[in-house]
Amino acid sequence: MTVERQRLVVRGVVQGVGFRPFVYRLATELGLSGWVRNDALGVTIEAQGTPVALSALSARLRADKPPLARIDSIETTALPPQADALFAIRLNHSGAAAGTAAIGPDSATCPACLAELFDPGNRRYRYPFINCTDCGPRYTLVRHLPYERSGTSMAAFPLCERCQAEYEDPLHRRFHAEPNACPDCGPRLTLIGADGAAVPGDAIAATLALLRQGRIVAIKGLGGFHLACDANHPEAVARLRARKDREAKPLAVMVANSASLDAWVDWQPGDADLLGQPARPIVLLQKRPAAERDLPGIAPGLAWLGAMLPYTPLHYLLFHEAAGRPSGLDWLAAPQPLALVMTSANPHGEPLVIDNDAARTELAGLADAILLHDRAIVTRCDDSVLRQEAGRAQFLRRGRGYTPLGIPLSRSGPAVLAMGGFYKNALCAMRGDQAFLSQHIGDLDRVAVCLAQEGTVSHLLHLLQLTPQAVAHDLHPDFHGTRLAQRLADEWRVPAIAVQHHHAHIAAVLAEHGVDRPVLGLALDGVGLGDDGQAWGGELLLVDGARCRRLGHLRSIGLPGGDRAAREPWRMASAALALMGRGDDIAPRFAAESGAPQLAQMLARGVAHTTSMGRWFDAAAGLLGVAARMRYEGQAAMLLEGLAARHGPVPAEPGLYHAGADLDLLPLLARLADETDAGYGAALFHAVLIEALADWTATAACAHGLDLVACGGGCWLNALLSQGLARAFEARGLRMLTARQAPPGDGGLALGQAWVARHVLDQSGRA
C-alpha cells in the first residue's frame, strides 16, 4: 500500500477558532499520522497516509471547518514519508509564532455554550462569561501578539485546575480557548447602584428589576458599554433620549430571538439569517405600523427598525431571567416579550466608554445603575449595522463581529495605510491581497476621538505586523487624519498621498468588487472637498485607477450659513427659492425662522455654493415642510425616504430636470415648492430623481463607451434611491456596482483611499 506525506499550509482565520483540535480529530479519524501547529502563516499540517485519506483530508478541511474558521487558501507540498505513527498537536513556543496570522472577530455565544449556560447541573450554569473555541470575545481583548491568553485581558485570571485541564485537552471544545473561564477562576459581575456602591444579591435579577421599573442601566458588553432601558416603557425611552441628548436619532432594540420581532417588522428574505449571524450585527428591518405603536420613540418617522439578538452570555441571562429562568433551550425558540433599547454609551459624541472607572464618572448622570465586570475591554468596538439591500447584505457601520476580518482584493500589492474622512471615521490597512478596515472610530470633531484614531493606527499596524509604504488621506488640509498622515509619512519616510473624497468613494466600491478598468462613478454624498476647493457631493466621475476626471456635477446651489445650511433644511429650501428667482417668497414662507429676511438678503448678495446631493435632499425636505431643522445628520433625507415609502411609488412627472453635462433638478424643486401633499411630493422627488440620474449617467456612459457604473457616497443608504436606480440602470443596459462589505458613506472612505494609493505607487513604480 502506498504511503504519501504532504505539508498543507492553511491561511485565513484559523487561529483561536478550534482549528487544531478539528484537524487532530479529522486526521485521527482518517488514520493519518503527522502533526498540526499554529505558525506565522496560519496553520501548518504535515499528514501521512494513503492517497485516498490525504485527499479526504484536503476536502474535509474546507467542508467541515469549525464555525468561526475562514479558509482563504490551502497550499499543498509533497514530502518524503517519515517514521511517525500517530497524529499530534504541536505547540509553537517561538515568540514570532502568530506573527501575521489573522485574529478572529468577537463572536456570539454558541449553541453548545448556551446549552451549558441554561443547564442547572452544569458548573457554568448562569455564568456570564462562558465561552469556547467556537464563540466568545477575541479582537476586543487582544493586547498584543501572539494570540494567546497572556497577550489578552484574560491574563489577569489564572485558570483553575478544571479549566486548565479543558484548555490542555486536544479533544475538548475549550482546547486553547484563550478566554476560557468558570465561576471559580474567571471574571465576575457587579451591579453598581446610584450611590456608587455594589448592589448585594443576584446582579442579573437586580438589573432586570431596575429595567422593568423604567430605569436606565449601563451594561458592559464586548466592545464597550451600552445604555439600556425597557423598549416597551415610553417614559424610560424618553428619559434615555433626554439624558443622552439624543432627541430623535433612531435607537436599536435587542430581543431574545427573531420570532419576538414578528409583530413589528416585515421580514425580507435573508433578514433573519443576517440577524442570527455569529457577528450579531444590528440589522435594519422594514417597520410595520405596530412598531410605531408598541415601541414609541424608537425610530420616529423612519421606514426602518434597527434590531439585534443577544451576543454575550450576559445579554442572554437578562432574557433568561425575564422568562423565569427556564432550563434548556426550548424557550429561546419562542417569542419573548422583553425588548431592550441598547444604545452605545458615548456621551456627547465622545468615544464609546470601555473601562470601569470611566463608566463610573462619565455615565453617572446618564445611567441609574452600572452592570460591570472585571474583564477589561482592550479595544473599543461599536456594534455593526447592516441591512439587506437587493437581496444582499450591506454594511452601514462596520465594527464588532467583523473587525479585523479582511476584505479580499483581486490582487496583491504594497502595504498602505489610509486615514479615512472626518465623519464616521475608520482606517484601512492593505496587506497582500486583503484590506483591513478598522472598526468605526467616530466623528473627528472631538479631541478624544482624534486620540482614539491615533491609538487605532498603532494597534492595527501591530496586529497586522505592517510597515506601510504610503499613507493616504483626504484632500482636506485641516482634518486630523491629514495631519496625522503627513506626520507618519515623514516619520516612516514614505509618501503621503491625498485622495479626493468622491474619487475615494468610487474607489472603495472598485476595491471590494475587484474592478481594475475604467468605470463611471456616480458619487452621491453629503460633502467632500473638491479639486477646485469647492464643496462637492453630486458628481459624475470617470475613474481609472489613480486617475479621476469630473465629467459633470449637480447644478451648484447656494450654501447660506455654511455648516448651519447642512443642519437646517429651511436654509437650503431658501437657496433653491433664490435660484428660482423667488427670493421674495423666503421671508413669508419661513416666517417662523427669525433669520429668514436676513437669509434672503444674504442669498441676494451671493454665498458659497455646493454640488452636494445631500443638500438637494435637504432643500426638497425644506420646501415640502418635512423638516425645517435636523436633529441628526441625514435626518431630512431619511424622513423624506420614510414618507415616500409610506406613500408608495408614483410615476415621474415629465419635464422636471435638465440632464446635460451637468444635472439640473431645479424644475423639480420648483414643482415641490407648490406641492401641498408632502407624501406625494416625497414620492415624486424620488421618482424624478431616479429618472434624472439614470438619464444623466446613461448619456455619459454612451459618450465614453462604458457600461459599468460604480456607486458610492452616503446617499446610497437611501434604499428607495438605490433600488430605483438599480432598475433604471438595468433598463438602460448599464451594470451597477454598490458598496457591500464597506459602508457606502464615509465609513468606507479609507478603503477607497488605500486602493487609490496603491495605484499611485504602481504608477510611480512603472514611471
Closest to Zn ion by CB, 182 vs 701, is 182
Closest to Zn ion by CB, 184 vs 445, is 184
**Within positions 703 to 732, which residues make up the interface with Zn ion, using CB under 5 A?**
none
Region near Zn ion per CB under 5 A, out of 22-30, 46-54, 156-164, 607-615: 156-164
**How many angstroms separate the Cα of 57 from the Cα of each of 3, 12, 21?**
14, 17, 14
The answer to whether 114 contacts Zn ion (rule: CB under 5 A) is no
**Within positions 277 to 336, which residues make up the interface with Zn ion, using CB under 5 A?**
none
Site string for Zn ion, 67-106 (x = CB under 5 A): ----------------------------------------
CB 686 within 8 A of CB 644: yes
Closest to Zn ion by CB, 134 vs 539, is 134
Site string for Zn ion, 542-581 (x = CB under 5 A): ----------------------------------------
CA distance 416 to 432: 10
The answer to whether 66 contacts Zn ion (rule: CB under 5 A) is no
Among 185, 587, 650, 706, binds Zn ion (CB under 5 A): 185
CA distance 46 to 273: 37
C-alpha cell at 171: 479533544
Region near Zn ion per CB under 5 A, out of 36-44, 185-193, 365-373, 714-722: 185-193
Closest to Zn ion by CB, 134 vs 148, is 134
**Hey, is 326 helix, strand or coil?**
coil
Phi first, then psi, for residue 743 (nearest 5°) are: -60, 145
| Bridge partner list, 474 | 499
Closest to Zn ion by CB, 67 vs 651, is 67
Q: Cβ 21 to Zn ion, closest distance in Å?
A: 13
Q: Cβ 113 to Zn ion, closest distance in Å?
A: 3
Closest to Zn ion by CB, 129 vs 657, is 129
Angle formed by the axes of helices 480-492 and 447-464, nearest 10°: 40
**Hey, is 170 helix, strand or coil?**
coil
CA distance 16 to 18: 6
Closest to Zn ion by CB, 132 vs 370, is 132
Contacts of 543 (CB under 8 A, 6+ apart): 503, 506, 507, 510, 518, 519, 520, 521, 710
Closest to Zn ion by CB, 185 vs 596, is 185
Q: Cβ 374 to Zn ion, closest distance in Å?
A: 15
CB 543 within 8 A of CB 506: yes
**Within positions 731 to 750, which residues make up the interface with Zn ion, using CB under 5 A?**
none
Region near Zn ion per CB under 5 A, out of 184-192, 304-312, 335-343, 610-618: 184-192
Nearest to 518 by CA among 759, 257, 764: 759
The answer to whether 160 contacts Zn ion (rule: CB under 5 A) is yes
Q: Cβ 142 to Zn ion, closest distance in Å?
A: 18
Rg (CA), the chain: 27
DSSP 74: E
The answer to whether 507 contacts Zn ion (rule: CB under 5 A) is no
The answer to whether 182 contacts Zn ion (rule: CB under 5 A) is yes
Q: Cβ 120 to Zn ion, closest distance in Å?
A: 18
Among 69, 163, 339, 749, binds Zn ion (CB under 5 A): 163
C-alpha cell at 68: 468561526
Among 113, 437, 488, 720, binds Zn ion (CB under 5 A): 113
Closest to Zn ion by CB, 114 vs 464, is 114
Q: Cβ 198 to Zn ion, closest distance in Å?
A: 23
CA distance 416 to 418: 7
Region near Zn ion per CB under 5 A, out of 4-12, 108-116, 596-604, 647-655: 108-116
Site string for Zn ion, 4-43 (x = CB under 5 A): ----------------------------------------
Burial of 78 (0-12, 13-18, 19+ CB in 10 A): exposed
Beta strands at 42-49 and 535-544: parallel, antiparallel or unpaired: unpaired
Angle formed by the axes of helices 678-704 and 719-731, nearest 10°: 40
**Within positions 205 to 244, which residues make up the interface with Zn ion, using CB under 5 A?**
none
Closest to Zn ion by CB, 123 vs 462, is 123
Closest to Zn ion by CB, 182 vs 274, is 182
Q: Cβ 172 to Zn ion, closest distance in Å?
A: 12
Among 184, 247, 445, 730, binds Zn ion (CB under 5 A): 184
Q: Cβ 166 to Zn ion, closest distance in Å?
A: 8
CA distance 749 to 766: 26
Nearest to 414 by CA among 466, 465, 469, 458: 469
CA distance 750 to 745: 11
How many residues contact Zn ion, by CB under 5 A? Answer: 10
Closest to Zn ion by CB, 127 vs 590, is 127
**Hey, is 562 helix, strand or coil?**
helix
**Hey, is 4 helix, strand or coil?**
strand
Q: Cβ 417 to Zn ion, closest distance in Å?
A: 34
CA dihedral (443, 449, 455, 460) in degrees, to 10, reads -20
Q: Cβ 177 to Zn ion, closest distance in Å?
A: 8
Closest to Zn ion by CB, 129 vs 536, is 129
Q: Cβ 130 to Zn ion, closest distance in Å?
A: 7
**Within positions 446 to 505, which residues make up the interface with Zn ion, using CB under 5 A?**
none
Closest to Zn ion by CB, 138 vs 758, is 138
C-alpha cell at 560: 447660506
**Hey, is 509 helix, strand or coil?**
helix
CA distance 739 to 510: 9
Q: Cβ 132 to Zn ion, closest distance in Å?
A: 3
Region near Zn ion per CB under 5 A, out of 87-95, 140-148, 158-166, 504-512: 158-166
Closest to Zn ion by CB, 19 vs 696, is 19
Q: Cβ 683 to Zn ion, closest distance in Å?
A: 48
Q: Cβ 223 to Zn ion, closest distance in Å?
A: 18
| Bridge partner list, 498 | 473
Among 36, 102, 110, 322, binds Zn ion (CB under 5 A): 110
Closest to Zn ion by CB, 110 vs 471, is 110
Q: Cβ 117 to Zn ion, closest distance in Å?
A: 9
Q: Cβ 134 to Zn ion, closest distance in Å?
A: 5
Closest to Zn ion by CB, 166 vs 292, is 166
Cis peptide before 179 (omega within 30 of 0): no
Q: Cβ 131 to Zn ion, closest distance in Å?
A: 5
Closest to Zn ion by CB, 114 vs 638, is 114
* Residue 348 Rama label (left phi>0; alpha psi -120 to 50; beta): left
CA dihedral (669, 670, 674, 679) in degrees, to 10, reads -20
**Hey, is 144 helix, strand or coil?**
coil
Q: Cβ 156 to Zn ion, closest distance in Å?
A: 14
| Bridge partner list, 574 | none
**Within positions 119 to 138, which residues make up the interface with Zn ion, using CB under 5 A?**
132, 134-135
**How many angstroms separate the Cα of 640 from the Cα of each of 229, 355, 626, 634, 685?**
29, 39, 7, 10, 9
Contacts of 751 (CB under 8 A, 6+ apart): 407, 418, 428, 435, 437, 507, 508, 511, 512, 742
CA distance 326 to 374: 27
Interface residue list for Zn ion (CB under 5 A): 110, 113, 132, 134-135, 160, 163, 182, 184-185
